[in-house]
Amino acid sequence: MSDGFLHGKFVWFEHLSHDVGKASAFYDALFGWQTKLLPMGPEQYPMIHNGAQGIGGFRQAPGGARSGWMSYLSVPDVDVSFRAAIAAGAKELMAPFDYADTGRGAVIADPTGATFSLWKDAKRDRPDDESTPVGEWFWNELWTPQERRALAFYETIFGFTHNSMDMGPMGTYYVLNKDGKPRAGLARSVQPKAQAMWLPYVKVRDCDATASKAKTLGGDVVTPPRDIPQVGRFAIVVDPTGAACAFMAPQSA
């Protein structure tokens, strides 16, 4: 940690869609979240709360954009990271911008096409929990058709190191570390022609029960519950607006 910041951690997650009401109703019911409107300048921001803790939000997607979750990566200086990323082959989607008094951010697509935000909070990043609460973000994972290119980008621009795990027919899984902490995963997309994307995970008590509930709420469970040895049981759902999200019951839970 440096001056209250956890650079290299994904510190916020925002759902972008063309039907915020439908999205918030689905996730509030699925994970027990509470969406509350927070005044932000002349507008109100639908902030996601897990218990008393704000963990993300909902926002209207730009015209023509598909629904998805946006991951916010903590960086020491948004402008410096933005310029370095663009020089390394990333695509500018939104130049550095101040969000009222909350912080400064920018949006880019990495050289393999995965979209995410660079972020510097106006005050500090929320400290790591000793144990992730149920309903909180548990992990973040990059799926890309060009895993070696993506790995080089994130290590060069953001200072990640990695551990490699042989997943057999699935290929190599890379765990991205920053300052001694595992912060995200990186792997080759199961579908070679699929667009690169960041996939966030939410911690749940019971993976199977959550998957069943997701179906009753109108979600499409595209990856049914399955075990990852010594890690936990997970599933992936596409919500009623078309955004993908994963959830996991860790083995220790």
Q: Which domains does the chain show, CATH number per domain? A: 10-121 (3.10.180.10)
Q: How far is CA 17 from CA 67, 68, 196, in A?
A: 4, 7, 18
Please list the ranges in the chain whose pLDDT falls under 70. Answer: 1-2, 192, 253
- One-letter amino acid for residue 103 of the chain: G
CB 44 within 8 A of CB 38: yes
Write b or e for each residue in 211-242: b if 16 or more Cβ atoms lie within 10 A of its Cβ, otherwise e: bebbeebebeeeeebeeeeeebbbbbbbbbbe
**111 conformational bin, left if phi > 0, alpha if psi -120 to 50, beta if neither:** alpha
Residue 248, classed as helix, strand or coil, is strand
Q: What is the distance between the alpha carbons of residues 241 and 17, in angstroms, rounded to a whole number?
A: 7
Cβ-based burial of 44 (10 A; exposed 0-12, middle 13-18, buried ≥19) = exposed
In which element (H, E) is residue 92 found?
strand 91-99
pTM over 0.75: yes
Per-residue pLDDT, 2: 56
Q: What's residue 192's pLDDT? A: 67
DSSP designation for 145: S
